[in-house]
Amino acid sequence: MNRISIFKNHILSGDFGKLAHFVKTRIGSYLFDWPQGINIEPTETCNLHCPFCQYRINAKERFKYISFENYKKIIDDVAPFISYMGLFYRGEPLLHEDIFSMIKYASDKNLRTEISTNAVLLTKQKSRQLIDSGLDVITVSFDGATKKTYEAMRAGAKFEQVIANIKHLSKLKNKLNSRKPYVILQMIITKETEKEIDRFKQIGKEVNADEIFLRPLTPNFAFTGKKPKIVLEKFLPKRRANKLELDIQNPQKKTKSKCYSLKTAMLFRDGTVVMCCFDGAGKYMMGNAIAADFMKIWYSDKYRKFRAKQMKNMELDICAGCKANF
């Protein structure tokens, strides 16, 4: 969702408080190096078993969630400085029993809120709760435009049911005359799904999505327990696989675009702060936002040095598969 869409949706939804907060915090970001947004994972647990996912967790870490109190503490610390709050990362946000209260708490502080979900748990009741919470954006990960491909890529989900869930959310928005949440239908491009792009676009129209997004599969070369070659050979389209092979051979090459982690941060459900969504293994931990004030972590010497290094050249191992390198 680009800045023009953000402004347009805030205006048409009457969210002038969020619009003003967005402008204020962006000025602060340019003048004082404030972060522009953060993501907090409500949980690292997921209800599906996607074969290409690199964030599958072991059994002992399942069913662990951030508490609402710890979440509120972090939001209170960062709300004056950021404009964006993503409530997702390695798990399925709709599994958290307090997810609607979490969204509302951030939204009431004029933060633009977003979740990314597989929509399996998006029941009629939860669709209404999402709208009532003030959620701004919902990205639905829908990887496959046919039943066979989708249910293979999103193991555990049912093609027809998820389509019905998305359609109901869109219909409910219209019924309530609500522009929010802005619905993005996203498909990750793999060897199988690249054959179904045209059909995927048609599904986007059928479910009345506000936007469709084709996302390249970006293997995380630093994540423990997954070998890059497995991902490259099994899931990546041929042309992109060749490009990533070159990146492995030459990890020090100059980046072609700006690293977006310079202005954002990712938080695990236990408060651990990492600088990038590619660090799902927690290899480069900056601190803990439950134990300390996030802004003190953000301005720490360690974090400043990492951002300065990334500004010059993206040379960490987690940068190899990043879209900013293309």
Write the pLDDT tens digit of every residue in 257-269.
567 778 999 999 9
Q: Is 32 exposed, middle or buried (0-12, 13-18, 19+ CB in 10 A)?
A: exposed
Q: Averaging pLDDT over each range in 74-78, 177-181, 283-287, which range is the top one?
A: 74-78
pLDDT, mean of residues 168-182: 95
- Identify which has the larger pLDDT, 228 or 29: 29
pLDDT at 254: 46
What's 191's DSSP letter? Answer: T
Element at 287 (helix H, strand E)? strand 285-288
pLDDT above 70: percentage of residues in the chain: 80
pLDDT, mean of residues 62-83: 93
Tell me the whole-structure pTM to 2 decimals: 0.89
Q: Rounded to the nearest 10 degrees, what angle do helices 16-32 and 3-12 cross at?
A: 150
Is-contact 104 80, C-beta < 8 A? no
pLDDT at 73: 98
Is-contact 206 165, C-beta < 8 A? no
Please check the confidence at residue 313 and state whether its pLDDT lies above 70: no
Q: What is the pLDDT of residues 196-224, one digit of tens each?
A: 999 999 999 999 999 999 988 776 654 54
Q: At 190, is the pLDDT very low, low, confident or very high (cuts 50, 70, 90)? A: confident
- For 226, phi and psi rounded to 5 degrees? -130, 125
Instruction: Give me the sheet containing 84-86, strands edge to edge.
Output: 211-216, 182-189, 137-141, 112-117, 84-86, 37-40, 264-267, 272-274, 285-288
Q: At 308, is the pLDDT very low, low, confident or very high (cuts 50, 70, 90)? A: confident
Please check the confidence at residue 251 and state whether its pLDDT lies above 50: no
Q: At 228, is the pLDDT very low, low, confident or very high (cuts 50, 70, 90)? A: low
Partners of 285 in the β-ladder: 274
Q: What is the pLDDT of residues 116-172, one digit of tens each?
A: 999 999 999 999 999 999 999 999 999 999 999 999 999 999 999 999 999 999 999
Please check the confidence at residue 249 and state whether its pLDDT lies above 90: no
pLDDT, mean of residues 173-194: 92
Q: What is the pLDDT of residues 97-122, one digit of tens each?
A: 999 999 999 999 999 999 999 999 99
Question: What are the tokens at 24?
Answer: 């204020």
Q: At 15, is the pLDDT very low, low, confident or very high (cuts 50, 70, 90)? A: confident
- For 139, phi and psi rounded to 5 degrees? -100, 125
pLDDT at 115: 97
pLDDT, mean of residues 43-56: 82
pLDDT at 259: 74
Q: At 231, is the pLDDT very low, low, confident or very high (cuts 50, 70, 90)? A: low
pLDDT at 135: 96
Question: What are the tokens at 173?
Answer: 């928005």
- For 10, phi and psi rounded to 5 degrees? -60, -45
pLDDT at 3: 60
pLDDT at 13: 76
Q: Tell me what the pLDDT averaged over the chain comes to.
A: 85
